[in-house]
Amino acid sequence: MAALDDQDIRERAGSDLRQSFIVDAGAGTGKTTVLISRILGAVASGKSSLERIVAITFTEKAAGELKARLRTELEKALREFTSEKWSYVRDALTEIERAQVSTIHSFCATLLRERPIEAGVNPDFDVLDEIGANLLLDQSWEDWLAREMDRPAGGLEEVLETGIDIEDIQPLGKFLIHHRDALETPAPAVENREAFLLELANTIPLLEELQQRCLDHTDRGWIQIEALKERLQDLQGGVPLRRLISQPLSLRPNDGNQKNWFPKESLGEVKRLVADLRARCDELLAAMRHNLAVGLLHWLQGYVRHYEAAKKEKGCLDFFDLLYRTRELLKNNREVRDYFQGRFDYILVDEFQDTDPLQVEIFFFLAESSPRADSWTEVRVKPGKLFLVGDPKQSIYRFRRADIETYDAAQKILVGQGEVLDLSLNFRSRPHVVEWVNSLFSDLIRPSEEGFYQPPYRPIVASLPSAGQASVRFLPLSPRVPVGNGAAGDLRAAEARTVAALLKRVVAEGWEIRDQRDRKKRKIGYGDVGILFRAKEAMDLYEEEFRDFEIPYRVAGGRRYYSRQEMGALLAVLSAIDNPKDKAALTAALRSPFFSASDEELFLFVSGGHALDYLEVEGDAGAPAASIQTAFRLMRELHHLRNEMSVPLFILHLYEKSRILPFLYLRPQGDQKVSNLFKVVDMARALARQGLVTLRSFVQFLSKM
């Protein structure tokens, strides 16, 4: 019955073009298929053409896959339809490349380039991708900070006096830049510093008098008074009061033992005075911390402006600019809003749970019917124009401004103007998996006790038949696997060995799976297996076990990519080439696979009176350390070429001259090592296209990853 009801919902989502929908689609329920069905329904009915339909996906890869699947479905429909529908589908196929299937950022870039004057942007602007934007953010930070340090007085001095590390401040600056549409600097708080100092100065003599009644100078109450006297002298001697933020007064009302005081009631008086002083101190510290934060926000606006100026100079917009400027254009310019509303008949959005507030505003303004609203929450949506697909339980991009409460707000608006559809039939997983997921997460996903929005858990229903074997397995550690002394590290190693042994057995026994491409059964291979880690620290253990079991593997994505041995070696070589005075990088480069100098060769080279400086005159090629001289000749050549070639070409030249690629390829996991080095070239190409990269800036970028 659930499947039948679900199918009715799917058919309605594709055919009812007069109604706007927000589709709550659980994992594996065919969100993309529903999107394509609605596009096909709009085209085949003659109600719209592809170039008047907007389909927004989360990634460029997803957009490409959606367009490819759309082409396939149109070709299929062309074989099945007749008469008028056939001609509509044929026309759609001819204009498939003009279809507005893209990420939200690409879509916004298109709108801005179409109306650049009204948007206030350079018509030929370039778009900074995430890597390019981070590089420019770091360059802007270093330039701006160097200028701030040269100022005789300013916000930086006050911040550093509180003990805050300058390296901890840049993330706050980046946060301001990424949220510059939503942050307001609060008003300063009243500090009453003079009143606190006066109270402290008046209280200390009273405490000193009571201190005389302590019979034991090791009593913690006596020691506390002594420390307060010293701090008062420091503060009266000119130590900035804001130093209290990093070095607060030691005010502990419960310190002291009555048996060490005479009369005993004296300690009670001490505790009362200390408690009062602590209350005043806490009030002051709260105000000082608030004002420090306010001052820091004001000061960091300089960084924001410097970054904006750097983008303007380069003619670039970052991803946030694309969203913010498009929202501003649609919100504040009614003529432009009318123009784009007339351009598009339908707005379809995939992965709606991961959209941020700016994106939601853009979608609602484009889907608006008259009268025109000042706020997206007041928009009257044109019937049938908006189609949002998502799963609020899968919202995981808070760090990219995704706001699940915005999803909830959009849903509530559409409930009054459209309808919410629930898809529950899962086409991806076997019943054992679905039952296990339902059992586990129906208990874990509950309403928030703190009052935050938490989407309810809606069970999914398996459509695939049972495979006849368990799809979810728990792996108890085998008694034959040693676990050392039972420490966490030993247990993780045992887990890795257990998993490796299972994978070896699964492939050897030929367990069957269903191929994702043709849906036919076949025997499993190692390439069909993925392992997810909660923390990257365990990955080394698994790699070691996979090598022992002769299991081929590839590490995919994440920051761990930058911590691999070949990446560290490349960074050392590039650093040494860029800066000959970096002896640590030079030593690491010589010992790396690029040059393979041994510790003995390094010792003989240095003990023979040679300096670790490849810019010096070349020594005797027949010396015991000839391999180092060979490395020096190449590094000297590359150092002189570093500013004459683009960074990607320079890195490829390094690979060729050092013969690193064939060397690595013949080693264990060689194909992945070589692939990783080529990824660096691709990264450098992407940055070079944006005109941002020198070798030095690229080295700095890699070192921060």
**Looking at the structure, do residues 362 and 254 belong to the same domain, yes or no?**
no
**Contact (Cβ atoms closer than 8 angstroms) between residue 255 and residue 273:** no
Percent of the chain, pLDDT > 70?
92
Q: Looking at the domain assignment, is residue 390 inside a domain?
A: yes
- The reply to whether 448 falls in a domain is no
630 in the same domain as 589: yes
Q: What is the pLDDT of residue 403?
A: 72
- Between the alpha carbon of residue 67 and those of residues 38, 373, 385, the distances in Å are 14, 33, 20
Which tens digit of pLDDT belongs to each residue from 647-662? 999 999 999 999 999 9
pTM above 0.75, yes or no: yes
Q: How far apart are CA 361 and CA 364, in angstroms?
A: 5
Average pLDDT over residues 392-418: 77
Query: What is the structure's pLDDT at 3?
Result: 45
Let me know whether 340 and 304 are in one domain: no
At 356-382, the pLDDT tens digits run 889 999 999 999 997 889 999 999 999
Determine, yes or no, domain membership for 454: no
Closest CA to 564 of 688, 675, 696, 653: 675
Asked if 645 and 698 sit in the same domain, the reply is yes
- Give pLDDT tens digits for 5-26: 688 999 999 999 999 999 999 8
Q: Rounded mean pLDDT of the chain?
A: 87
Return the CATH number at 353: 3.40.50.300
Q: What percentage of residues in the chain have a pLDDT greater than 90?
A: 50
* Residue 50 in domain: yes
Structure tokens of 550? 């002769």
Measured distance CA(56)–CA(577) in Å, rounded: 44
Residue 386 near residue 414 (C-beta atoms within 8 A)? yes
Q: Note whether 299 and 189 are same-domain residues.
A: yes
What pLDDT sits at residue 164? 81
226 with 279, same domain: the answer is yes
Among 280, 314, 348, the domain-final residue is: 314
pLDDT band at 58 (very low <50, low <70, confident <90, very high): confident
Would residue 607 count as lying in a domain?
A: yes
pLDDT at 339: 97
Residues 416 and 389 in one domain: yes
Which of the residue ranges 393-402, 411-420, 503-512, 526-535 would you say has the lowest mean pLDDT? Answer: 393-402
Say what the pLDDT of residue 478 is.
64
303 with 185, same domain?
Answer: yes
Q: Which domain holds residue 260?
A: 130-314
Summarize the confidence of residues 315-333 as an average pLDDT. 96
> How confident is the model at residue 1, as a pLDDT?
40
115 and 196 co-located in one domain: no
Query: Is 696 exposed, middle or buried (CB count within 10 Å of its CB: 0-12, 13-18, 19+)?
Result: middle
Rounded CA-CA distance 425/79 in Å is: 28
Question: Which of 428, 461, 496 marks a domain boundary?
Answer: 428
Question: Does residue 609 lie in a domain region?
Answer: yes
**310 and 340 assigned to the same domain:** no
281 and 420 housed in the same domain:
no
Q: Is residue 160 part of a domain?
A: yes
Q: What is the pLDDT of residues 183-200, one digit of tens each?
A: 777 888 988 888 888 998
DSSP state of 456: P
